[in-house]
């Protein structure tokens, strides 16, 4: 006979929570202090006679981090594979016992070709039809937005779809229509918005529903879907209108939540739908794979994925409904937050103490910008939400594994250390020091790309090392613009029907280029006046020549591989895009 374990008293829980907070803050400050000291002190662990080939403590720390991250990602993939074998042994899902799921699709001025693919993939999902609902909400109810409603009706024609054009939305004041009569005369008005009642009735009574509502931004669209569903389903899947779902995507997500009640949300592997549109979309496709299958797989090993990506995520609905209002009404510096909805959904789930997971067996394909300017706008917007949500995420580190604290501190500080290193070398460094750092950056990028190529079984992943200059010259300065404009809102890169240029993200790139150019000129002039006759300078000249040859050779090889294996397959996609940050 087993004896019941007594539950801790409120005082004991309070003391335990306080202790965890203190330990977590101490651990975060320890990591911060060690990283800062290792970077500032520049302690060399290995060096040649003249200090030209040096490997320091900070470099060792980053190398150890990458090795640990790769190891835990590999172990998580093995864990997922073992879970898949157990699921296969149990046999197919019992339709009668399957959890009810609502697939919610957020749409805004979507490219018709992408939207049709999205809806067709939703129809093809391998999940018991009686347990799956499809709800698409369109952000906009004007005549030019209704083609999306017509397409939904066409794709789901045999499912008795319900469509509704709503004059308002949940958060725009409803004003009853004026009735004829004398001024001040008594008249009766309806107590509730008939549009809201109609939407909720359709969602509760039809399997496939499309609602076009008054424009309010993506978070407003998602709120409508979540609010209208209420408690009518067990799980809610989120999806964007430019996303093509794998037929097994939903089933694999459901299996993760079914297996462990401690998991509140799970995300899948987001691949790129248009990798061959340009060099930007190709490199993004490689970067996406590593972001999900290495970085988030590592986080999933510790049950603390920091972001369940918007194109493919599944949430426990009873938990989502508990924080729905707080999620929608999120403010930062007095401004209502309209972007970063997926990160804040994830953070809200983490704040409740529930785990978040990632599974590589669930997959989707999503559109990514093919032009550099639009990619830069997208990355700037994502960086805004990253920095903002980092602050919120820090409040709940104590409720999860220490890895969550450690990785948040490391990834949060990394851009600042990189920027400081580059500026220091350009202004105070010698030519060889600058070249040595460039060689190290590309060497680390190549090592990470080689691991990804092995893990994926795809040699083309080696070209991921070409992403390093894109980060250093584009994304890094854009992060500082994001920091300065975190409280600005907008749909960002969505709306793919028209082309509208937004050159604001180019401003930090221009400033960054001027800073580096000034430092380079200063260093070149200073070194031209220096005496190169000593033995150390002669050794530096030899290293400089050899290093420059190796660096140029690396780029010749990589660009040749790219041109032969990828560039000739790229094609320009017709159509334009609307950009707003």
> What pLDDT, in 10s, does the model give residues 284-325?
999 999 999 999 999 999 999 999 999 999 999 999 999 999
CB neighbours (10 Å) of residue 482? 25
State which residues form the domain around 338: 98-171+194-386
Question: 490 to each of 114, 123, 173, 219, 521, how far by Cα in Å?
Answer: 21, 30, 21, 10, 39
User: Would you say residue 448 has pLDDT above 90?
Assistant: yes
Residue with tokens 């087993």: 2
Provide long-range contacts, Cβ within 8 A and 24+ apart, for 127-132. Answer: 127/93, 127/98, 127/101, 127/250, 127/251, 127/254, 128/93, 128/95, 128/98, 129/207, 130/95, 131/95, 131/98, 131/99, 131/100, 131/101, 132/100, 132/101, 132/102, 132/103, 132/207, 132/250
In a domain, 220, yes or no: yes
Q: Are 135 and 260 in contact (CB under 8 A)?
A: no
Which of 304, 266, 322 lies closest to 398, judged by CA? 304
CATH number of the domain residue 375 falls in: 3.90.550.10
Q: Which of 45-59, 103-117, 506-520 has the lowest mean pLDDT?
A: 45-59
What's residue 522's pLDDT? Answer: 83
Count of structural domains within the chain: 1
Distance (Å, whole) CA 465 – CA 438? 12
For 74-133, write each residue's pLDDT tens digit: 999 999 999 999 999 988 888 888 999 999 999 999 999 999 999 999 999 999 999 999
pLDDT at 45 > cutoff 60: yes
Query: Does some domain include residue 407?
Result: no
Q: Is residue 5 part of a domain?
A: no
Residue 270 domain flag: yes
In a domain, 325, yes or no: yes
């Amino acid at each position: 006979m087993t004896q019941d374990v007594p539950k801790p008293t409120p005082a004991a829980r309070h003391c335990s929570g306080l202790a965890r907070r203190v330990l977590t803050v101490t651990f975060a400050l320890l990591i911060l202090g060690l990283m800062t000291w290792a970077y500032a002190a520049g302690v060399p662990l290995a060096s040649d006679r003249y200090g030209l080939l040096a490997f320091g403590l900070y470099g060792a720390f980053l190398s150890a981090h990458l090795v640990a991250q790769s190891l835990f990602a590999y172990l998580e993939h093995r864990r997922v594979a073992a879970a898949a074998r157990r699921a296969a042994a149990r046999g197919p899902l019992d339709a009668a016992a399957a959890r009810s799921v609502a697939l919610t699709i957020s749409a805004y001025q979507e490219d018709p070709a992408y939207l049709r693919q999205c809806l067709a993939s939703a129809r093809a999902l391998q999940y018991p039809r009686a347990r799956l609902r499809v709800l698409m909400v369109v952000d906009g109810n004007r005549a030019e937005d209704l083609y999306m409603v017509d397409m939904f009706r066409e794709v789901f024609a045999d499912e008795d779809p319900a469509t509704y054009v709503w004059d308002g939305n949940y958060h725009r004041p409803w004003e009853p229509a004026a009735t004829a009569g004398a001024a001040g005369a008594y008249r009766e008005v309806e107590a509730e918005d008939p549009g809201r009642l109609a939407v909720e009735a359709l969602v509760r009574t039809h399997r496939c529903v499309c609602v076009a509502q008054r424009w309010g931004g993506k978070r407003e669209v998602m709120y409508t879907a979540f609010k209208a569903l209420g408690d009518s389903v067990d799980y809610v899947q989120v999806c964007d209108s430019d996303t093509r779902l794998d037929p097994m995507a939903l089933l694999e997500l459901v299996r993760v939540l079914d297996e462990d009640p401690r998991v509140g949300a799970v995300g899948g592997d987001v691949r790129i739908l248009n990798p061959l549109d340009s060099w930007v979309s190709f490199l993004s496709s490689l970067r996406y794979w590593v972001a999900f299958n290495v970085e988030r797989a590592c986080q999933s090993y510790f049950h603390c994925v920091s972001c369940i990506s918007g194109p493919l995520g599944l949430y426990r609905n009873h938990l989502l409904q508990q924080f729905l209002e707080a999620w929608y009404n999120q403010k930062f510096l007095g401004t209502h937050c309209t972007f970063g909805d997926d990160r804040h959904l994830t953070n809200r789930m983490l704040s409740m103490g529930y785990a978040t997971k990632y599974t590589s067996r669930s997959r989707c394909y999503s559109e990514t910008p093919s032009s550099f300017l639009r990619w830069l706008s997208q990355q700037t917007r994502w960086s805004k939400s990253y920095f903002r949500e980092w602050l919120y995420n820090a409040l709940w580190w104590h409720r999860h594994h220490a890895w969550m604290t450690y990785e948040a501190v490391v990834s949060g500080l990394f851009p600042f250390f990189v920027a400081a290193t580059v500026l220091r070398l350009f202004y105070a460094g010698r030519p060889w020091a600058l070249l040595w750092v460039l060689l190290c950056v590309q060497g680390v990028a190549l090592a990470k790309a080689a691991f990804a190529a092995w893990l994926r079984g795809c040699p083309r992943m080696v070209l991921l090392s070409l992403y390093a200059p894109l980060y250093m010259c584009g994304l890094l300065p854009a992060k500082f613009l994001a920091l300065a404009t975190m409280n600005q809102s907008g749909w960002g890169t969505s709306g793919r029907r028209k082309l509208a240029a937004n050159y604001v993200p180019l401003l930090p790139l221009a400033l960054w280029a001027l800073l580096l150019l000034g430092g380079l000129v200063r260093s070149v002039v200073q070194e031209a006046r220096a005496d190169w006759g000593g033995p150390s300078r002669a050794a530096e000249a030899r290293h400089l020549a050899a290093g420059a040859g190796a660096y140029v050779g690396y780029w010749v090889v990589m660009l040749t591989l790219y041109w032969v294996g990828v560039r000739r397959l790229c094609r320009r996609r017709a159509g334009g895009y609307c950009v707003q940050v």
